[in-house]
Amino acid sequence: MQLIRVRVHAALARTINPWLYKSQEVVASTAAKSSSSSSPTYIHIAAGRLARGSGQEELANPDQLEGFASEFEFDTDQRETAEQRDKFLVLRLYEALGAGDRAAVHSLLAPDLEWWFHGPPKHQHMMHLLTGTPSSSFAFVPHSVDALPGSGTVIAEGAGEHGGCYWVHAWTVGPDGVITQLREYFNTDLTVTRLLANSGKCCVWQSRRPDQAQNSLPCLLLAL
């Protein structure tokens, strides 16, 4: 495993955009690959943070996701649980991102969003979307959204509009109802486990790609 230290510059996001990517050092790890390999290079960026800027331009606007959150059913006859609230917040975030609703995104995300990424660098669409850079028109439309009980974690997964890529987002929602962290996985299967008091662990979520039997992808473990 080769360790590479890189600096992510604030130039990734122009000051005219409402979101800036902080200039700071992050550590990336990438497996050494032979020059003849056609496999994509995977990069893991740790502790990247997204912060609001002072500009007035709107967020990058991919295909509209109008009314997306309303497609998911919620039980309104009973008191809302923390998991229901967290799930709705994440669904609302995808809807706001798709609509380019800057005010809604600002209200849902912490001013200093912690971000991890694992996958081919060319698929850092969420970073481009949040920083307002026009290099990506990728639309995140989740196929499933699951709030994991007692963890403040919401897992969403989906695929590209025309296939060819698979993504998983693990969002952390704070007790105040603000999203504080994103772990993003592209073309990577994910298994989420919960650590138990007796030093054991149990699986609480696994990727559900429809083509898992035909298409093998790297797999990572996220322990809560």
Tell me the percentage of the chain whose pLDDT exceeds 70: 64
What is the pLDDT at residue 135? 62
What is the pLDDT at residue 102? 83
What is the pLDDT at residue 72? 52
8 pLDDT higher than 70: no
Give 24's contacts (C-beta < 8 A, 6+ positions apart): 7, 8, 48, 49
H/E stretch holding 172 reads strand 166-173
Cβ atoms within 10 Å, residue 93: 25
Query: Which has more pLDDT, 61 or 224?
Result: 224
CA nearest 136: which of 217, 70, 60?
A: 60
Read off the amino acid at residue 148. Answer: L
pLDDT-derived band of residue 53, with 50, 70 and 90 as boundaries?
A: very low
Give 64's contacts (C-beta < 8 A, 6+ positions apart): 98, 99
Which of 10-24, 35-49, 98-112 has the weakest average pLDDT?
10-24
Query: Which has more pLDDT, 2 or 151?
Result: 151
Give 221's contacts (C-beta < 8 A, 6+ positions apart): 190, 191, 192, 193
Q: For the chain, how long is the longest CA-to-CA vector? A: 60
Q: In whole angstroms, what is the distance from residue 166 CA to residue 157 CA?
A: 8
Q: If DSSP codes are grouped into helix, strand and coil, which group holds residue 117?
A: strand
Q: In whole angstroms, what is the distance from residue 145 CA to residue 156 CA?
A: 4
pLDDT-derived band of residue 71, with 50, 70 and 90 as boundaries?
A: low
Positive/negative CA dihedral, 205, 144, 112, 180 = negative
Q: In whole angstroms, what is the distance from residue 209 CA to residue 189 CA?
A: 8
List pLDDT tens digits, range 159-202: 987 778 999 999 999 999 999 999 999 999 999 999 888 878 89
CATH number at residue 200: 3.10.450.50
- Structural domain range at position 96: 2-223
Q: In whole angstroms, what is the distance from residue 170 CA to residue 204 CA?
A: 13
pLDDT-derived band of residue 46, with 50, 70 and 90 as boundaries?
A: very low
What is the pLDDT at residue 24? 32
Provide the token pair at 152. Answer: 């403040």
Domain count, the chain: 1
DSSP 37-83: --SPPPEEEEEEEEEE-S--PPPP--S--TT-GGGS----SSPPPHH
Question: Is the pTM of the predicted complex or chain greater than 0.95?
Answer: no
37 pLDDT higher than 60: no
